[in-house]
Chains A and B, each alone.
Chain A
Amino acid sequence: GAVVSQHPSWVICKSGTSVKIECRSLDFQATTMFWYRQFPKQSLMLMATSNEGSKATYEQGVEKDKFLINHASLTLSTLTVTSAHPEDSSFYICSATGAGATDTQYFGPGTRLTVL
């Protein structure tokens, strides 16, 4: 149980285009979803926290207009990277809580974004 999926697993896009990444909790209702960014050989950096039906809370330094987060249902959150540039290339990972303890996070497999 407590499975989180992400789609796509990898994406390559041209500079200036927008990319949408989906995060789904498959067998539980996610009270909260988190979006992280991870550069090679580095730790996870929290970008934003989202609760179903409300606006996401962004971490300091994360551009809200650049990284649009929508949490429309208890099982789906999306991250849209708008007008992507090569510096946005990274590994994006989501996690969700709600399967059991409110602080236990279950992570998705990640999405590798490459912007050419």
Chain B
Amino acid sequence: GENVEQHPSTLSVQEGDSAVIKCTYSDSASNYFPWYKQELGKGPQLIIDIRSNVGEKKDQRIAVTLNKTAKHFSLHITETQPEDSAVYFCAAWSGKSTFGDGTTLTVKP
């Protein structure tokens, strides 16, 4: 089955800095890669996604890149704000989602 590894497990940045979270996957059949933000006590919220026929996607301060050959994809958040602090999960879809272990992002004001 699919295996998704996510790094780092914790990330602390200063407000205004950029944050990068990286994931690798194992199943070459995976073709959809969403990123979720989860705040304490709440369900995951889809923040951006990318499909296997695209290399990069951007939505305001958030961008995702995908390298199919290397089987890795990354989340980039620029100009971080304290409200970006949360747990971020990557996932790979091949009929169902397999999630990474999550990254706790802390943005210090």
Cα-based distance from A18 to B42 in the complex (angstroms):
23
Between A and B, 11 residue pairs with Cβ closer than 8 Å are: A34-B97, A43-B89, A46-B98, A103-B31, A104-B34, A107-B43, A107-B44, A109-B42, A109-B43, A110-B41, A110-B43
Please name the residue on chain A nearest to B87 by beta carbon: A41
- Chain B residue numbers with a CB within 8 Å of A108 are 43
A-B contact count (CB 8 A): 45
Residue B99 at the chain A interface, CB threshold 8 Å: yes
With A42-B101, A43-B102 as contacts: A103 and B93 at CB distance below 8 Å: yes
- B interface: dominant SS: strand
Known: A43-B89, A44-B89. A107 touches B45 (CB 8 A): yes
List A contacts of B42 (CB < 8 A): 109-110
Report yes or no: B46 in contact with A105, Cβ–Cβ below 8 A: yes
A43 to B99, CA, bound (A): 7
User: Does A51 count as interface, using CB distance less than 8 angstroms?
Assistant: no
Q: Would A104 and B43 be within 8 Å (CB), given that A43-B102, A46-B97 are in contact?
A: no
